[in-house]
Structure 1
C-alpha cells in the first residue's frame, strides 16, 4: 500500500467502532457451507470463526471483518447471481476484486461453479491464507489468487488478464474520487470486450456525497457516494472510455450501518457491455 499522508478532511473515523463483540448470527447458507463444504463440526463453528476473524482484524480493520459481513455471502443477494453460476458452468471467468477471504468465491463453488474459473485479487496475502483456514479447502480449491495493489499494473494487467465478469464488493468506496475513477477504468479495461461482459457488485452509500478522512487508505481519504453520484461516476468513466454500456445503481434495502460519520446503506451496481 502506498505511504499514507495527512489531509484536512474531517471527521476522522475510529475503526474500532466496527468491531462487533457479539457472536455472529449464522444463516443456513453459512452454516451449511462451513459444516458440509469445509467439514467444520457444528459445535466448533463459533470458536473457529472468532479465531479467524480476530487474526484478520489484526491484519487490517475493515468494517466487513469486524461486523462479520464476510459470512453473509453478499453475492447471493444480487439478482444476477443465478446467471453468474450458469455462465461460470459454461466456461466463462470471473474476477473477484478485493476478495477478502474469498467467501463469495466459495459460495459460487458450492453452488456449482468450477473453481478454476474464478480468480481473486487481494492487497493483503494474509486474507487469502486466512480464507483457506476459514474454509478448510487449501487442498481442493483450484481458484487463482493475485496478491498486490490493484492500482499497480504488474498486479493485474488488462493487456494480459481479462474476464467475462468482475465482482467488486466493498471495494471502490475505499478510495478518493479520483482513485475511484482510476479503479473503475482499470476494472472495465479488464473485461473481455464483448456484449454481456459486466462489472457488478455492492458498496455503501450515504445521504450526502463527500469525502471523509481515513489515514489507512491510499490517499488518506474515502469519497462517500449517494446512489446518484455513484451512477454518475460510472457513467462518466463509460463515456470517457467510449464504451457502449448500461449502468445501474439501486439500494439493496439491507445492511444499514450507523457510524460516527453518519448512516451507511448498501447499494448494488452493474455495468454491462452492449
Structure 2
C-alpha cells in the first residue's frame, strides 16, 4: 500500500507510479526567489548551479522518504519568513531567544534565519530522519560554519529510548517553536503538540490546561 514514509517499504516502493506523479515534480527549471537568494548569498553557489544542486538533493531525499513536500519541492518555500509576525520572531531571537524548528527537514528555515542575522548558536532543529540533516549540510554547504544544533529522533518515543534521547535533551530549553512542516504528518496531532510543547521553557504552565482538553 502506498503511503508517506520510507521510499522502500517491505521490499516494495512505498509510492506507486500514480502517487509519484502527483507527489513528485519533474522538469524543474526554477525555485522561489528566496531560496535562490539564500543559496547564492549564504551558500555561495553559482547562479547556474543552484537549481541542479537543489534538485539533486531533493532526489536523494525522496529516495529515503517519499514525502510529497519533498517531491513537490515545497521545502524550497521558507514558510517562517512569510508569517505576519516574522519580524517579531527575528527581534526576539536576535535578542537572545532560543528557537526550535520541529521537523526541520534540511534545516532550510534555520539557514534563512542565519542569513537574516540570527546567531546560529541560538537555533535548534530536529527531524525523524537523520539523513535529511546531513543532506542539509550538503545543500547549504555550511557544515564547517553553521553552529545550529541539529538532532534526530522520534518525538513520541520514550525519553529513555535510543530514538528519543536526543530530543528529550532539548526539553524545557526553547523560547520559540516553529512546526509548520510537522503536525500534519501523522494522525496524532494532539500527541505531537503535547510533546513539542514540552520543549518550551514555559511548558509546565502552558500544558496544564492542554492536558485537561485531551
| 1:164 corresponding residue in structure 2 | 175
Higher relative contact order (CA 8 A, sep 6+): 1
Return 13-22 or 48-57, whichever deviates more: 13-22
The 1:171/1:16 distance shift into structure 2, 3 A limit, reads: farther
| 1:182 corresponding residue in structure 2 | 191
- TM-score normalised over the length of structure 2: 0.81
The 1:159/1:29 distance shift into structure 2, 3 A limit, reads: closer
Could you say which structure has the higher strand fraction?
Answer: 1
- Could you tell me whether the CA contact under 8 Å between 1:95 and 1:166 is conserved in 2? yes
Q: CA deviation at 1:238?
A: 6.9
The 1:175/1:38 distance shift into structure 2, 3 A limit, reads: same
Secondary structure of the residue that 2:167 maps to in structure 1? coil
| 1:92 corresponding residue in structure 2 | 97
Query: Are 1:112 and 2:117 matched, yes or no?
Result: yes
Deviations 1:214-238 (A, max 9, x none): xxxxxxxxxxxxxxxxxxxxxxx77
Query: Are 1:64 and 2:69 matched, yes or no?
Result: yes
Which runs of 5 or more residues in structure 1 are unaligned?
Answer: 5-12, 199-236, 244-274
- Could you tell me whether the CA contact under 8 Å between 2:106 and 2:135 is conserved in 1? yes
Return 122-131 or 167-176, whichever deviates more: 167-176
| 1:101 corresponding residue in structure 2 | 106
Q: CA deviation at 1:62?
A: 1.0
Tell me the matched-pair count: 192
- TM-score normalised over the length of structure 1: 0.64
Q: CA deviation at 1:170?
A: 2.2
Q: CA deviation at 1:240?
A: 3.4
Secondary structure of the residue that 1:25 maps to in structure 2? coil
| 1:32 corresponding residue in structure 2 | 37
| 2:87 corresponding residue in structure 1 | 82
Deviations 1:46-68 (A, max 9, x none): 21111111001101111111111
Secondary structure of the residue that 1:50 maps to in structure 2? helix
| 2:200 corresponding residue in structure 1 | 191
Q: CA deviation at 1:239?
A: 3.4
The 1:158/1:65 distance shift into structure 2, 3 A limit, reads: same
- Could you tell me whether the CA contact under 8 Å between 1:116 and 1:144 is conserved in 2? yes
Instruction: Return the alpha-carbon distance in structure 2 between the equivalents of residues 155 and 15 of structure 1.
Output: 33
Instruction: Return the alpha-carbon distance in structure 2 between the equivalents of residues 61 and 101 of structure 1.
Output: 15
Computed over aligned residues only, the root mean square deviation of the Cα atoms, in angstroms, reads: 2.6
Instruction: Return the alpha-carbon distance in structure 2 between the equivalents of residues 17 and 148 of structure 1.
Output: 28
| 2:13 corresponding residue in structure 1 | none
| 2:140 corresponding residue in structure 1 | 135
Could you say which structure has the higher helix fraction?
Answer: 2
Secondary structure of the residue that 2:100 maps to in structure 1? strand
